[in-house]
Chains A and B, each alone.
Chain A
């Protein structure tokens, strides 16, 4: 199939609400990886009140604070476009707070007010015992070789439990992930939710290409970027080394 010049639309949803942790970076990564392969990528920035474009191939949701999360879920429900996008088979990447809002429900504030989510992933989020903050390494389920390791930074107070309608994206090696039960993220069809926030795709190009392949419906030629491989090796080695050192330390008190 000749894909040269094919238009591919990436929709970045509500940067003003869900753009806390460099989340636009995921859009940057996808756009460039398309352009470098000869596609014609188009970026659509949507803010609350604007209709979600019905022509998107990939929709991105990022991280945000409690009040922003509530506003975002309200606007997305009123719009309804994300449901239609999933029905069309578009790929959805929902990160951190975005992951929580595409689930069944999540809680906000110290009174743990329950907010109903979009229900695109069968997951439920409640406030966790301790905030999960730090580097995370997980193993991408079903993948082998170097690309199986997902590396990122998580920072979330909510803990997410998976229902029968989803599969975990990955298995935690270091970090908290969904809720400390060893799972990280969730997948159902073309919808992927994950905690490592911000530009998770910058550190994990295989995941970026997987999302592109979901949206395009066919495999892509690999791109070779030594600097990204070097960054991955550095992060994986450093985080594992620090983890090993901390594990050896005798607890005080």
Chain B
């Protein structure tokens, strides 16, 4: 009994100290306070994260792109089904998804018994071990911040190993069947629900993760009635058949029921994210109708797709972190003037070579404003794309004086600054 008492006391002390540090950080305007709060907590009680997760029903969402929005979908689906008991649910809604951020979010609502958490790709293995999640959603893998993560395959391997070690006690995995590396990792789990997401980004998976032979990719073609497909030319690895499917903007569930998602966030990729969230919600006991009612209430998860005012300018904010994300974001930008904000702080990746993997040529005919600390790199890229642009490195200046609504696509650091400036 005394051991339990000491353990609980230590967690309480850690939570208290963390809260002080977080408040100090917020008051001094250094940040949201979430990360520092978690850091202090884990310093005082290294086992804080596993203690906070103990006894909860846990769902984890990870992947390179879409994890914040998907986690919001899933949390909102569950809240809808909980109704007046929605306070039982804790969710790291702001997207702080490393150990510190997760501990911080959980400590904010210690009484919650359901945790819906997005987790950085590097933390998935630990979360499987510490949190014993009942559901794990694995969305996609693409190159991102290569100055830090040198090989995406090693991340996939870490997921696969953790799932194999968890064995029958491991989570049911909801996995994107269109992503070879996700499939390879998920196959180590005892139970997998496959989602055919109709994803089109294939540039980051040309070799088989199992045997390194060439993968054959078949692009979806609606005119030919052709679904996307992939298979390995060397071993038996191939796209599993989807239990859930995204089909012409609808979601087909396990029972072959077709749902029109009618989401409040734009983009076909968000229908794919919603399909994964729907599968996860059903695993957690929410019927699809209720789940979708909840998911439609998600409008601007952690500021993504938020429309806000910057002085007299109305702007919609879109986050894009890597070539796969930009391929999704660029078609969303419909305004005549488009503002693109680029930085290379640690959270953006210090190397901006990826600018050359983004098809900025699509913006020909529009007037583009290049902004952010790496605006000049973008300016050169736009020059070679023969797109008209103005280079205005200062964000506030770039946003000022647009009579028509503008779409803004930003990498992580300027996106967070814009959220603060636009109060979203």
Do A and B come from the same complex? yes
Inter-subunit contact B380/A227 (CB<8 Å): yes
Contact status B351-A155, CB under 8 Å: yes
Shortest Cβ distance from B361 into A: residue: A28
Which of the listed residues B147, B151, B381 has the most CB atoms from chain A within 10 Å of its own CB? B381
Residue of B nearest to A66 (CB): B151
Contact B353–A197 (Cβ < 8 Å)? yes
The answer to the question of B243 belonging to the interface, with a C-beta cut-off of 8 Å to chain A, is: no
- In the assembled complex, the CB of B203 is this many whole angstroms from the nearest CB of chain A, namely 7
Report Cα–Cα, A234/B378, bound state, in Å. Answer: 13
Q: A18-29 interface mask toward B, CB cutoff 8 Å, 1 = contact, 0 = none?
A: 011111110011
Q: Does A168 contact B (CB under 8 A)?
A: no
Interface residue SS majority, chain A: mixed
Which residues on A sit within 8 Å (CB–CB) of B381? 25, 202
Given the interface pairs A16-B203, A67-B153, the reply to whether A227 lies near B379 with Cβ below 8 Å is yes
Q: Which 10 A-B pairs have the closest CB atoms?
A: A25-B356, A198-B353, A22-B356, A16-B206, A22-B353, A21-B353, A199-B356, A67-B212, A153-B351, A231-B376
Chain A residue nearest to B356 (CB atoms) is A25
Across-interface contacts of A230 in B (CB, < 8 A): 376, 379
Chain B residues near A155: list those with CB within 8 A: 146-147, 150, 351
Interface status of B391 (Cβ within 8 A of chain A): yes
Q: Is the CB of A68 within 8 A of B206?
A: yes
Bound Cα distance A24, B351 (Å): 15
Contact A24 B357, CB 8 Å, known A202-B384, A230-B376? yes
Q: Does B214 contact A (CB under 8 A)?
A: yes
Instruction: Check if A19 sits within 8 Å of B203, measured CB to CB.
Output: yes
> Assuming A32-B386, A230-B379, what are 8 further A-B pairs, CB within 8 angstroms?
A20-B143, A23-B356, A25-B357, A28-B385, A133-B147, A155-B147, A225-B380, A230-B376
> Which of chain A's residues have a CB closer than 8 A to the CB of B376?
227, 230-231, 234
Which parts of A46-76 form the interface with B (CB within 8 Å)?
A: 48-49, 65-68, 70-71
Interface status of A228 (Cβ within 8 A of chain B): yes
Write out, one digit per residue, whether chain B residues 345-387 have a CB within 8 A of any chain A CB (1) or not (0). Answer: 0000011111111000000000000000000110111011110
Complex Cα spacing A8 to B376, Å: 29
Contact across chains for A65 and B380 when beta carbons are under 8 A apart: no
Can you list 26 A-B pairs with a CB-CB distance of less than 8 A?
A20-B146, A21-B351, A21-B353, A23-B356, A24-B357, A25-B356, A25-B384, A28-B384, A32-B384, A32-B386, A49-B214, A66-B151, A67-B212, A70-B212, A71-B207, A71-B214, A133-B147, A134-B147, A135-B350, A197-B353, A199-B356, A202-B356, A225-B380, A227-B383, A228-B383, A231-B380
Assembled-state Cα–Cα distance A48/B214 (Å): 9
Which residues from chain B contact A153 at a C-beta distance below 8 Å?
147, 350-353
CB contacts (< 8 Å) of B212 on chain A: these are 67, 70-71
Chain B count of residues within 8 A CB distance of the other chain? 29
- CB B214 to nearest CB in A, in angstroms, measures 6
* Bitwise interface map of B from 380 to 398 toward A, beta carbon under 8 Å scored 1, else 0: 1101111000010000000
Residue of B nearest to A25 (CB): B356
Asked if B377 contacts A28 (CB within 8 A), the reply is no
Task: Tell me the minimal C-beta distance from A87 to chain B in angstroms.
Answer: 28
- Residue interface bits A184-225, CB-to-B below 8 A is 1, else 0: 000000000000011100110000000000000000000001
* Bound Cα distance A71, B214 (Å): 8
**A157 and B150 within 8 A (CB):** yes
Interface residues of A (CB under 8 A from B): 15-17, 19-25, 28-29, 32, 48-49, 65-68, 70-71, 131, 133-135, 153, 155, 157, 197-199, 202-203, 225, 227-228, 230-231, 234
Q: Which B positions have Cβ atoms within 8 angstroms of A? A: 143, 146-147, 150-151, 153, 203, 206-207, 212, 214, 350-357, 376-377, 379-381, 383-386, 391
Given known pairs A29-B384, A198-B356, A234-B376, the reply for A131 and B150 (CB within 8 Å) is yes
B357: nearest chain-A partner, CB-CB: A22
Query: Measured between alpha carbons, how far is A228 from B380 in the docked complex, in Å?
Result: 6
Closest-by-CB residue of A relative to B354 is: A22
Chain A contacts of B206 at CB under 8 A?
16-17, 68
CB distance from B403 to the nearest CB of A (A): 27
A202 neighbours in B (Cβ, 8 Å): 356, 380-381, 384
Interchain nearest-CB distance for B244 vs A (Å): 28
Best-buried of A23, A198, A225 by chain B (most CB within 10 Å): A198
Complex-state Cα separation, A60 to B150, whole angstroms:
22
Complex interface: chain B residues within 8 A of A25 (CB): 353, 355-357, 381, 384
Q: Which of B153, B354, B379, B386 is A65 in contact with, Cβ under 8 Å?
A: B153
Residues of B within 8 A of A135 (CB): 350
What is the bound-complex CA distance between A66 and B151, given in angstroms? 9
Bound state CA distance, A168 and B250, in angstroms? 57
Most buried by B among A32, A49, A134, A155: A155
> Residues of A contacting B203 with CB < 8 Å?
15-16, 19
Residue of B143, B146, B386, B391 with most chain A CB atoms under a 10 A cut-off: B146
Q: Is the CB of A67 within 8 A of B207?
A: yes
Q: Provide the residues of chain A in CB contact with B147, threshold 8 Å.
A: 133-134, 153, 155
Q: From residue A43, how far is it (CB to closest CB) to chain B in Å?
A: 13
Contacts of B353 in A (CB 8 A): 21-22, 25, 153, 197-199
In the assembled complex, which residues on chain A have CB atoms less than 8 Å from the CB atom of B143? 20
